[in-house]
Amino acid sequence: MPRLIPAIMLMACGGATSDVDVTQPDVALGPNWVQQVAESPVSFSALMENNRTHWIALHRSDYKAVLAEPGASEALRFRAHTSLANFYFRLARMDREAWKQTEATWSTTNGLEIAAELEDFPQVATLNGHRDPWPWPEPSNNGIDGLDLGAQLAMTEAAMETLSLPIPELLARATTPSFQSKDGKISAYDPLVYQGLFLRHQSATNPPPSVDLGHVLFSPCGTELEDSAGDNAAAHPLACFDEGLAGGDPQLDSNLGETDDAQVAREFARALDIQVSGWLQSLESRVADDGKALLRDLSLGQIYRNQNLISLAERCLDRDRPRQALALAQMALDMANPREIGPLNPPVLFAILAEANVATGHTREALDYLEVLSEAYPEVLALDETVGDLAVLKGMNRQGDSKEL
């Protein structure tokens, strides 16, 4: 116990969670890392013995801090690089969609003059947001959207140059405009910075030969990582969803029906909460006081619940169900701290909320979530400008004066 209490004091989210009366007081789930920590606090203490500062950072979803502090273990580096890779992947997907909508809006906005330097940006952005394979066509005499072979080669060379840059240069490029309008009101940034950041962190992610508590702690994965093989956009090592959370209720279907029905997603999340609350009550009733303290003070059950909803929201986005993704992400958001990154609100949650809003046409709402990210991730500036310009374009009077971008 003496080594356990300091860990709780250092990592606590800010208070114990309150008990919730549920209709299913004895729900048996698991095995998962929440159960392991509660039933065997010594396993958690052993993990905290080394790299305590890093684990505190991971608990508060500060992946950059994990990597900035020297001496991080293999499991910590794996977790930080995997989480950052997926975060930037979501930003890349959003950037691709924002440029796609921008191009479509250009064609329907009366009197709009597009600077020649901007015309290639939407085409370049199509390389964003793909894990494998990439959709970039080989240059040919047939052309890419009317480009001659020389222009194709130049575009491909520029794209590959960005995608090969190291992380510091990509971060700098994300805050340095590639184009500015004559009046300085419009700034455009290299569309591929997030795809590049995704690739750098993905390449630094080494799958562990075996999975222990450190590889799954504070994640949606119970005891094993996800098999990320293949070209599924949602596939990555932490893209788990614990089907056991829905296993006690035959009405819970993680496929969420056949259509993009947000109400189905909300009802699923509410039913899931009953399951999780019953499970946590049952778990607390049978563990010792030190295990109970970890559960409550570190909000372990709530973290597991949120991470699984976030993972399911990602799947919805990649199945072209943005309304369900938005509903699930909103249900996952910690309303006690709705504009703060933390244990219950990892960065990818705000990225999902922004992406789902862009996909459903709520561009200005997406900017609110990008603003939350901007302090910890200044490189979000490039995407914030792209989405912001899209919001302005959509708000233009189509019958108004001639405008130049």
Helix or strand run (H / E) with residue 403: strand 403-404
Q: Is 320 left (phi over 0), alpha (psi -120 to 50) or beta?
A: left
- Contact between 60 and 342 (Cβ < 8 Å): yes
Q: Please identify which residue in the block is written with the tokens 């199509």.
A: 126
3-state secondary structure of 4: helix
Q: Give the closest residue to 4 by CA, choosing from 245, 292, 331, 283.
A: 292
Question: For 241, which DSSP code?
Answer: -
Q: Is the dihedral of CA 316, 321, 324, 325 positive or negative?
A: positive
pLDDT tens-digit readout, 253-276? 899 999 999 999 999 999 999 999
Residue 7 has pLDDT above 50, yes or no: no
Distance, in Å, from the CA atom of 83 to the CA atom of 66, rounded to the nearest integer, reads 11
pLDDT tens-digit readout, 340-363? 999 999 999 999 999 999 999 999
Distance, in Å, from the CA atom of 380 to the CA atom of 21, rounded to the nearest integer, reads 41
Residue 9 has pLDDT above 70, yes or no: no
- Contact between 22 and 301 (Cβ < 8 Å): no
Locate 343 and state its tokens. Answer: 């244990």
pLDDT tens-digit readout, 70-104? 899 999 999 999 999 999 999 999 999 999 999 99
Q: Return the axis-axis angle of helices 4-11 and 41-48, rounded to nearest 10°.
A: 70
Residue 152 has pLDDT above 90, yes or no: no
Helix or strand run (H / E) with residue 35: helix 33-39
Partners of 180 in beta bridges: 187
Is the peptide bond between 31 and the residue preceding it cis, with omega within 30 degrees of 0? yes
Distance, in Å, from the CA atom of 215 to the CA atom of 209, rounded to the nearest integer, reads 11
Q: What average pLDDT does the chain have?
A: 87
Partners of 179 in beta bridges: 188
Ranges of beta strands (E only) in 88-206 are 112-113, 179-180, 187-188
Residue 183 has pLDDT above 80, yes or no: yes
3-state secondary structure of 226: coil
Residue 178 has pLDDT above 70, yes or no: yes
What is the pairing mode between strands 403-404 and 112-113? parallel
3-state secondary structure of 95: helix
Highest mean pLDDT among 165-169, 179-183, 276-280, 401-405: 165-169
* Buried b / exposed e along 281-309 (16+ C-beta atoms within 10 A): bbbeeebeebbbbbbbbbbbbbbbbbbbb
Count CB-CB contacts under 10 A for residue 18: 6
Distance, in Å, from the CA atom of 204 to the CA atom of 88, rounded to the nearest integer, reads 14
pLDDT for 245 equals: 85
Share above pLDDT 70 across residues of the chain, in percent, rounded to a whole number = 83
pLDDT for 151 equals: 63
pLDDT tens-digit readout, 132-141? 756 665 655 5
What is the pairing mode between strands 187-188 and 179-180? antiparallel
Distance, in Å, from the CA atom of 379 to the CA atom of 248, rounded to the nearest integer, reads 43
- Contact between 110 and 402 (Cβ < 8 Å): no
